[in-house]
Amino acid sequence: MNWILLIIGGLFETGFAISLGKAQQSTGKELWLWLISFTICVSLSMYLLYKAMGGENAIPVGTAYAVWGAIGAVGTVIAGILLFKEPVSFWRLFFLMTLIISIVGLQVVSSK
């Protein structure tokens, strides 16, 4: 269950990064809606990270933070490509894949 909480928390991390990106492109009421979205996403993300590191099947702090951050980073890069028209290159995708492989590796070696 803790791994599920951590994955969802990482997805909310992507949400708060996207919200910040959209807020920078917005003004007026739309800006405030993106900032509210940021606040909600960052709060949920941190709470889920906190919950994943506690309880009966706690994920070690170092592993939890690394996986949480990597999920957010991968999601943000993909969102940047799709939503913000950021560049796509072989090396960018190559290193994104190495990050994903590292996330899976951390999960495997952290299992009890």
Q: Report the predicted TM-score, pTM, of the whole model to 2 decimal places.
A: 0.85
Specify the higher pLDDT residue, 111 or 104.
Answer: 104
**pLDDT for the residue 107:** 77
How far is C-alpha 5 from the chain's CA centre?
12
Each residue's pLDDT tens digit, 4-22: 999 999 999 999 999 999 9
CA distances from 29 to 26, 32, 83, 110 (A): 8, 5, 20, 44
Each residue's pLDDT tens digit, 62-105: 889 999 999 999 999 999 999 889 999 999 999 999 999 988 88
- Residue 26, SS3? coil
CA distance 109 to 12: 24
DSSP assignment of 46-70: HHHHHHHTSSTTPPPHHHHHHHHHH
